[in-house]
């Protein structure tokens, strides 16, 4: 639900039919479209849509109220049931979602989403760390951020280089790697080439509009 996600979502799904939201962390580029989605559910002409769970860091309700400039009470609590991540996996519909803390300047989680014996792992934003490796362990598809390139003086515990994303996928035994979160100032092909040097399995750049089977 980062900025821009709600528009794209409507090309592929009925946004009003969504019955749960999972948020990796509370940086603007990972949560702000919950503001637009709040409007869609609250002011729907057929009446407000049912309250749905929003799983995320414990500060999510407050952060979203602040983002929309709402009083914290009620904030968005009448539209969304904000449920903080805990140590146990969450069961939601056919999905089991296990989260792990990853290294980032704010509390951040990587998500491991399982259904029918298949696993999608998502890094959220993360530096290289054990929590990320565990999340991606034997995953059928590892959707991993790669915001940095090797060779620059990159801040630590913030993001991954393409090489680190590849290395993480190798250590974790991920079966397929898909790179995302590449900033516009980097050439995606360079990021991909770095990852390719560290990972032998199938890998690609995440492309809007493309479908990936898990
Ligand atoms: Zn972030
Ligand atoms: Zn980000």
Ligand nearest to the CA of 181: 2
Are the C-beta atoms of residues 132 and 166 closer than 8 Å to each other?
no
pLDDT band for position 126 (cuts 50, 70, 90): very high
Cα–ligand 1 centroid distance for 27 (angstroms): 5
In order of 16, 33, 51, 52, 79, the CA distances from 48 in angstroms are 10, 18, 9, 11, 8
Average pLDDT for the chain:
97
DSSP tag of 116: T
CA–CA distance, 190 with 60 (Å, rounded to integer):
35
Q: 3-state class of 125 per DSSP?
A: coil
Q: Strands 80-84 and 52-56: what pairing?
A: parallel
Alpha carbon 5 to its chain centroid, in Å, reads 11
Q: Check residue 147 and give its pLDDT.
A: 98
User: For residue 91, what are its two tokens?
Assistant: 């069961």
Are the C-beta atoms of residues 35 and 7 closer than 8 Å to each other?
no
Are the C-beta atoms of residues 214 and 141 closer than 8 Å to each other?
yes
Given the structure tokens 């100032």, which residue do they identify? 185
Cα–ligand 1 centroid distance for 210 (angstroms): 24
Are the C-beta atoms of residues 175 and 141 closer than 8 Å to each other?
yes
Cα–ligand 2 centroid distance for 81 (angstroms): 24
| Strand stretches in the chain, DSSP E | 21-22, 52-56, 80-84, 90-92, 95-102, 108-115, 118-122, 141-145, 177-180, 203-205
Cα–ligand 2 centroid distance for 56 (angstroms): 15
pLDDT in tens, 32-66: 999 999 999 999 999 999 999 999 999 999 999 99
Ligand nearest to the CA of 25: 1
Task: Report residue 22: phi and psi, to 5°.
Answer: -120, 130
pLDDT in tens, 150-174: 998 999 999 999 999 999 999 999 9
Cα–ligand 2 centroid distance for 55 (angstroms): 18
pTM for the full model? Answer: 0.97
- What is the mean pLDDT of the segment spanning 77-87? 97
């Amino acid at each position: 639900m980062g900025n821009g996600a709600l528009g794209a979502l409507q090309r592929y799904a009925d946004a009003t039919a969504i019955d749960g939201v999972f948020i990796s962390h509370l940086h603007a580029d990972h949560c702000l479209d919950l503001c637009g989605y709040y409007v869609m559910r609250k002011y729907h002409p057929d009446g407000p849509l049912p309250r749905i769970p929003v799983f995320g860091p414990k500060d999510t309700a407050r952060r979203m109220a602040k983002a929309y400039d709402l009083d914290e009470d009620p904030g968005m609590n009448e539209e969304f049931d904000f449920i903080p991540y805990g140590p146990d996996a969450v069961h939601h519909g056919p999905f089991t979602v296990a989260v792990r803390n990853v290294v980032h300047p704010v509390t951040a989680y990587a998500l491991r989403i399982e259904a029918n014996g298949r696993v999608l792992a998502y890094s959220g934003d993360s530096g290289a760390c054990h929590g990320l490796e565990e999340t991606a362990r034997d995953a059928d598809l590892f959707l991993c951020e790669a915001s940095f390139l090797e060779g620059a003086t990159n801040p630590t515990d913030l993001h991954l280089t393409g090489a680190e994303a590849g290395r993480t996928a190798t250590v974790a035994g991920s079966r397929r790697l898909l790179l995302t979160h590449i900033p516009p100032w980097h050439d995606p092909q360079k990021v991909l080439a770095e990852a390719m040097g560290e990972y032998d399995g199938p890998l690609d750049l995440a492309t809007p509009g493309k479908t990936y089977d898990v």
